[in-house]
Each structure stands twice: as C-alpha cells, then as structure tokens.
A = this chain, B = another copy of it.
Amino acid sequence: MRAHIITIGNELLIGQVIDSNSAWLGENLTSLGISVEKIISIPDETQVIVDQLETSTQEADFVLISGGLGPTKDDITKTSIAHFLGVDMVFNQDVYDSIVRYLKKLDRPVPDIIHRHAEFPEGTIFLQNKVGSAPGMVFQKNGALIISVPGVPYEMRSIMENEGFSLISAKNNSIHIIQKTILTIGEFEARLSERLNDVVEALPPYFSIAFLPNLNRVRVRLTAKGRDREKLEREMSDQVEKIKAVLGQQVFGFGKSSIEESIGKQLLQKHLTLSTAESCTGGYIAHLITSVPGSSRYFKGSIVAYSNEVKQKMLNVKTQTLADHGAVSEETVVEMVKGVVAATRTDIGISISGIAGPDGGSPEKPVGTIWMACGNERKIVTKKLQLGKDRLKNIEASAIHALDLLRLFIMDEYE
C-alpha cells in the first residue's frame, strides 16, 4: 500500500522551518510495510491544499497531513479539508471542553480564539491529543484514508503513536519491506562502495543498497521486499554478515544507533568511566554523550575550558606549554586529557582544542586546525585534523572524530 505525506505551512516553503515530521512519518510508515511514494510541502492556501488532497487521495491509499491546525488565522487546514470533502464546519463541545481542561491544567488563560479552535469538518473522527490542544482528525475520500495531525512535532508523534499508526496497520495488508542499516565511520562513500562491490554485485534482485554519508560517517542501508518475511530476514542477516566481514572495525553499529550510544554500551560493558575536556567543541562532545539515556552511569563530567585561564586553573595545563606551543597543539591536548582524568577521577578522558572559525586562524594554524587526545593514566593517543572554515561543521565534525578516536582507544586498550 502506498502513502503520501503532505506538510502544510508557508514557513516550510520559505525555509523558516525544516520539515522533520515527514522523515519521522516516513520512517514509521516504512516499518509498517507501507511505501511512502511522495512527500509534498505546500503553502497555507485553500485551493492548493484542496488540489493536493484530490491528487494524493487518487494516487495513494493513505494520506497523512501535518500542520496548519493552530488557533491562529494563518492556519487553514481544517477549513480546506471541509472544502475538499464538501461539508460544513461544526463546533464540537467535547473538544472545546477538553482544550479548556488542558489549558487549565497548564495554568494558562483560555483565549477567545479557542472557540474557533473547536470547529471541525462535519463527520470528523477524532484522535486524542494528550500533549497539546489540537486533536488529530480522520476522514475518507476517493478510497483513501486521510489523517490530519498538528505540525508541532511532539504533538504529531504522540497522536500517531497512540492511535494513528494502529488505524493504518488495520487497513494494510501483507507485502513486507525489511531494512537493515550498517553504520560505518572513517571512510568516504566512494571508497566504501568500491570495497563492497563484490557483495553488491551478488545481491538478489529484490535487494537494494544505498550509501548515506554524513560527517565522517556513512550509513549503508540494505532494503529487501517480498511476501515471505522469514526468508527475507534470513537473507538479510547473511548479507549483513558479508558486509561486516568486508568492513571490519569500520562498522560501529546498526540501525538508528549513534556513535555515542555505541560508545556508551562499550563503557558500561567494560565498567569504564569517561570525562571530556573541551575547548573548540564548547561542550558539544559532552552533549552528544549525555544525549544517551543512562549516560550518568559512565559519564562523570566535562570541563569546557574555553579560556586559557580555565585550561590552566582547572585542567593544570602549564603556562609554559601554552606559551611554547599555543592552546591548539598536541602538547596542550595531552595536558588537558591528563588534567581532566585527574580532576574527575575517570578511567578515560578525551580532550580537544582547535580553531573552529570563522576567524582566529594564522598562517601556521589556519581555521579548521584541530588537535585531540584520548587516554587513560597509562597511555594517550592524539590526532590532528585540518577541517574547513564553517564553525558549526567544524564543531560537529571534530566531535565525531574525537568520539571515533575514543571508540578505537577502547577497542585497542580494553579487552
């Protein structure tokens, strides 16, 4: 069965908001075996919405609409749907009461505008919104099931997870799509693809492979379609094993897991604790590590030493080292890692210091020069990167490289 995702809102077209809802819906629909054939973003304009609903309900079995359900005047999805269905807007007392209850619970005033917020196309089936005021809505036309949800990501997700996806599953039948994603780090897409050439050539015809690069990491995604789920799963495992055998240490995980999760698992398993000493990444490595639930079991803390004074005082970096080699140097990151391991009493530390840019470079150390170290009380390894001039990209990319340095250090130093 096929789905279209329609996201509504001028803010999407003028680029003020990035559409993350479609990716989330796409992923969930795919895992239900539904093929997402098109994602369309359109403005808050009745005629455009009506035309798109007409096209999409004819081309797809499921049409998911997100956005344009707020209480303000620019949100016109509901009236456009009424227009498309040829029905009137009617006030719904139950929804009105539940919105009022919701606002009271939050200790918020009830603005007049809420009355309009409780009007819906006649015949609407409601999906409860437990985390916001606009409920989800279900309709049918042209043989398609139409589900409309708010554009606020956590409201959309909550409604879909509670009731939306069950509705869709109930209507879907039995073509299976299986996917497995192999996560790699440290090699370019073209080179990976070349190394995997033999495996790719030998894939069954109902298998496909894709390479998805992002900051020093490439996801290798295998997809298989067919009716016999068990057979597909068996073959998928075989193919994944073949790819793992070729890529070896470069594989750091599978599916949606991140390098920071993979490291977290290693640290937990080996009963190791970690700290970071960050200059140019300004806390971003600590943020990545602590994004993982349960990270407090292995992560003790970080010293973000943005100024030299903090590097000296809190990390014991020597004045002489800073004077002789500068803050961005192998010598400094080595002292930083020693300092943070001592100060936080952890097994392992990572340190990083660089020129994130866009300014602050010199001929010998241009913007994008990054030094990093990883080590314990016995051994310290270091690495230098030469990146570009984009500050955020430098922060993100160098953090990922530092995590890879840590990953390899754990692999090499701890059984």
Contacts and interface: CB of A to CB of B under 8 A. Distances in A.
B301 A314 contact: yes
A12 to B, nearest CB: 7
Nearest to A188: B108
A323 interface: no
Contact of A290 (B10, B283, B309): B283
Contacts of A13: 26, 30, 36-39
A393 to B, nearest CB: 6
A40 B48 CA distance: 14
A80 to B, nearest CB: 15
A17 B23 contact: yes
Copies held by the complex: 2
A99 B344 CA distance: 47
Which residue, of A181, A200, A296, has the highest number of chain B Cβ atoms within 10 A? A296
Contacts of A345: 309
B10 A18 contact: no
B282 A359 contact: no
Contacts of A293: 357-359, 391
A12 B304 CA distance: 36
Interface in A100-144: 108-109, 111-114, 117, 131, 133
A117 to B, nearest CB: 8
A82 interface: no
Interface string A159-199: 00000000000000000000101000000111101100000
Interface of A is mostly: mixed
A286 interface: yes
Interface stretch (A69-77, A86-94, A369-377): A69-77
A313 interface: yes
A278 B284 CA distance: 13
Interface stretch (A206-214, A239-247, A403-411): A206-214
Given A71-B193, A190-B113, A307 B302 contact: no
A237 to B, nearest CB: 20
A25 interface: yes
Interface string A35-46: 011111111100
A250 interface: no
Q: How many A residues are at the interface, by size bracket?
A: 35 or more
A139 B167 CA distance: 44
A11 B212 contact: yes
Contact of A284 (B22, B210, B287): B287
A98 interface: no
Contacts of A358: 293
A248 interface: no
Contact of A111 (B111, B194, B294): B194
Given A286-B306, A303-B314, A309-B344, 10 more contacts: A15-B22, A16-B219, A37-B43, A117-B190, A284-B287, A290-B304, A294-B359, A300-B307, A307-B344, A313-B344
Q: A-B pairs with the 9 shortest C-beta distances?
A: A282-B290, A15-B27, A283-B283, A283-B286, A15-B26, A302-B304, A39-B41, A301-B310, A15-B23
12 contacts: A14-B26, A18-B19, A19-B22, A22-B41, A111-B191, A114-B190, A131-B388, A133-B190, A286-B306, A291-B391, A291-B392, A293-B359
Interface of A: 10-20, 22-30, 36-44, 48, 70-74, 108-109, 111-114, 117, 131, 133, 152, 154, 179, 181, 188-191, 193-194, 200, 208-213, 219, 221, 223, 276, 278, 281-287, 289-291, 293-296, 299-307, 309-310, 313-314, 343-345, 356-360, 388, 390-393, 395
